[in-house]
Structure formats: C-alpha cells, structure tokens
Amino acid sequence: GPRGCGKTTIFRNLSLKAQLLGNKIKKLDEYKENFIAIYYHCNDLYFAFPYLKEKLDDEERKCIIHYFNLSILYEILDLLNILNMVKGFDLGQNTIINIQELIRLYIHAYEFPPLGTDIIRHLMTIVLREKGEARNWFEDRQEIKPNFLPMDFINKFCEILQDKNPWIKSRAIYFQLDDYSTPNISNQLQETIN
C-alpha cells in the first residue's frame, strides 16, 4: 500500500504483543484467533546494515541471516516474556529447557543462568549481545566470527514452542515484516533474507 495508508498500525494491532500491552486481552481465553502474529520493524536491519551496495560474499550473507534470525528470536522472546505475565499462560519448564538447549547448540558462549534468574529475560540479553557481536564482525572483521545460526533456526525454535506448549500448538505463527522495502532495505539485504 502507499506510504501513510496505515499498514504499520494494522500490522502492530494484529500482533499479539500489541494486544496484550494494550490490555485488549487480559486472560488467554479471551484470545480467539487461530494464529499468533509477531511484528518486526525492518528499521532494525537498516541500521545494522545501512547502504549496502556491493555484492556480498557468503560469510557476509550468513552474518545477515544470523542477525535477522536473532532479531526475530528477540521478538519471540519478548512476546513470551509478556505472555508469562498473562493469567492462564504457563510456558512450562520443559519448554524453557528445550529452548535453552537449542540456543546453546548454536550459541556456544551461552551459559545457563543461576537459579532464580528470569530465563526469558536472560535469553533476551544474550540475543542482544549476539546481535551486537554480529554487527561488529560485519563492520570490521576484527572480532571473532560468531557461530552463525542456520537459516531454519526460527523454524526449529517455533517447532519447540508449538510442540511443547498446548496454547501455542493450536495456532499458526506469522511474522509481520514492516518496511521491508527499498530504499530502507537494500536489494542485497532482500536477496539474502529472501
């Protein structure tokens, strides 16, 4: 749609996070949709990789995919953090353990937090750190190269959520990418992520 027609407002209002934060849903049984929408604004990508005009090599493309996966993962974790405050939602200890095991499989620096730590918040902090490391490596290559997440990482993460949590299991998960267009998101970024 044309600029200013309300796409962002619609995308955000469809997201479960916005509905929870806007108090449209106070208990999970009030949510009747058969999907979970997760909103992501692509300015995050633009600011991480501005002005890409040259052809990217394989390592650069892997880094961009890694960063994108981390960005989407952060949005999922933020939603889970908010859901944990909603009456009737329990992510479950097995789900949390499986999530940590998946993260540890790909992010070798991940360490399980001390007892009593809010694990979802801990994971969010780890994801932000990894995003910063990926961006630093992309810019100057002097940092140690991160262990890049595979292209299907978000799919694997969502499979754990749908497999382990009955409330999520019955719902499709949609990712709404806002402002995923040129000139903000360069052709090189779009080709890589597509």
For the segment 23-51, the average pLDDT, to the nearest whole number, is 88
Say whether pLDDT at 143 is over 80: no
Whether 42 and 185 have beta carbons less than 8 Å apart is answered as yes
- Note the pLDDT tens digit of each residue in 110-134: 888 988 889 999 999 999 999 999 9
The DSSP bridge partners found for residue 41 are: 178
Q: What is the structure's pLDDT at 39?
A: 94
pTM of the model: 0.92
pLDDT band at 166 (very low <50, low <70, confident <90, very high): confident
Task: Give DSSP secondary structure letters for 169-186.
Answer: HTSEEEEEEES-STTTS-
What b/e string do you get for 9-18 counting C-beta neighbours within 10 Å, with b at 16 or more?
eebbebbbbb
Phi, psi for residue 32 in degrees, rounded to 5: -100, -5
- What's the DSSP call for residue 27? B
Instruction: Give residue 159's pLDDT band: very low, low, confident or very high (50, 70, 90).
Output: very high
